[in-house]
Amino acid sequence: PLSVVFLFVVIPAAMALTIGCVKDSTAILQSGGECVRACLAQSFQQVSTLNINGITGMEYTMQLIGKMLDPEVSEYGALYAGRLVSSLIKHAGAALNINQILQAVLNKLTKCESPTIQQSLLVVFIKLFNHDLEGSMSFLQSINTPSGENGLVYVLKSWCEIQEMFTGEYETKVAVIALTKFLPHLLATDSPLSLI
């Protein structure tokens, strides 16, 4: 568990500073997002139920994710957004409106040019593919990018374009495992992947 001082002084200050920063403050967004992610990983229950001026830690976290994934915010502000979203999904699970979050991740992904930022956001979907391939594929087929491209097609194309540039042993391993899960679908004629 987190100490009382950390819980009631540090976390509220970090959240307020990060959410209140101007859109171009990428360093603050990156550091604040990573701080919140680390706190959630350490003690999800404490942080998510924390009450800060009538707003729960979960609501603050959702606001922070929304700011990091805002299409108007520099893509570098979203460097650690993928890690924060993945951590939140892991710990909160069904308590989240995951569809809205994943749509925001997809929308931000379409605005990113840096392979590092793209990787951070793609790993959210890659982890979901590893957890529930069928459900993740079905969900992505049901949504579109802001330009109207199918979500599954866009994610898979983006992933294939930058896979060779993936950095980090863990991220590379998770991606390769997910790719192997797609093999049976690539061979099946009735697979949604046959349309790509």
Identify the CA nearest to 12 among candidates 56, 70, 66: 56
DSSP 3-state assignment of 96?
Answer: coil
pLDDT, tens digit, for every residue of 158-196?
999 999 999 999 999 999 999 999 888 777 767 666 666
Identify the CA nearest to 143 among candidates 194, 109, 171: 109
pLDDT, tens digit, for every residue of 36-64?
999 999 999 999 999 988 999 999 999 99
State the Cα–Cα distance between residues 109 and 69, nearest whole angstrom: 9
Provide the pLDDT for residue 189: 64
Q: What is the mean pLDDT of the chain?
A: 92
- Residue bearing tokens 């540039």: 165
Whole-prediction pTM? 0.91
Q: What is the torsion angle, in degrees rounded to the nearest 10, for the CA atoms of residue 133, residue 136, residue 139 and residue 145?
A: -120
